[in-house]
Structures are given as C-alpha cells and as structure tokens.
C-alpha cells in the first residue's frame, strides 16, 4: 500500500510529537485496531505500536491515477481510552 501526507504538517508533527508521518506509517505495517472516526470524509483511526509507543493515527483512503493510497493526517500518543480499546484486541 502506498502512503502520502502533507510534508509541512509531517515536519511540525515530528517537532511537536516526536514522529514524522513517514515514521508513523509503520503503525499500519504492524498489528493495529482500526475504527471509523468520521463519515464525511470517511476517516479512520488506527491504534498501534511504533517502537515502544502506542500511537493513534488518523488517515483516509484516497485514490489517484495509480490506484488507492493511504493519506496520513495526524497522530498522537494514544489516550487511556484508546489504550483500553487496543488491549481488548491484543491482550
């Protein structure tokens, strides 16, 4: 699967939260819990590990002339509630 993101936002997230969106794409390469966050536009939240940190990642599925790709929007360290959701599936 291809990934894309806004490079400026990625730099800001790296400065403020410690990970760029390029790094955060790694969450979607491992085990994660996925839920729909919004319907219009359809956005998803993935909760999964990157290194030893549980992160929550917001993304959309988009398409272009090459097909579908994942547009990464933002991330943060998972909240207590998000950790509980993740643990329901993996512990």
**Residue 41 pLDDT level (bands cut at 50, 70, 90):** confident
Please tell me the total number of residues recorded for the chain in this structure: 91
How crowded is the C-beta side of 49, counted as CA atoms within 13 Å? 6
Q: In angstroms, rounded to a whole number, what is the distance separating the alpha carbons of residues 58 and 52?
A: 19
**Residue 82 pLDDT level (bands cut at 50, 70, 90):** very high
SS3 of 51, please?
Answer: coil
Fold of domain 2-90: Nuclear Transport Factor 2; Chain: A, (3.10.450)
Q: Which two tokens stand for residue 51?
A: 């290194």
The residue ranges of every structural domain in the chain are 2-90
Residues 13-36: pLDDT tens digits?
Answer: 999 999 999 999 999 999 999 998
Contact yes or no for 76/55 (Cβ under 8 A)? yes
């Amino acid at each position: 699967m291809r990934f894309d993101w806004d490079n400026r936002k990625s730099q800001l997230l790296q400065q403020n939260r410690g990970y760029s969106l390029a790094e955060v794409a790694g969450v979607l390469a491992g085990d994660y819990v996925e839920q729909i966050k919004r319907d219009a536009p359809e956005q998803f939240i993935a909760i999964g590990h990157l290194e030893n940190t549980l992160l929550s990642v917001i993304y959309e599925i988009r398409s272009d002339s090459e097909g579908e790709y994942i547009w990464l929007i933002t991330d943060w360290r998972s909240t207590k509630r998000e950790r509980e959701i993740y643990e329901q599936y993996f512990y």
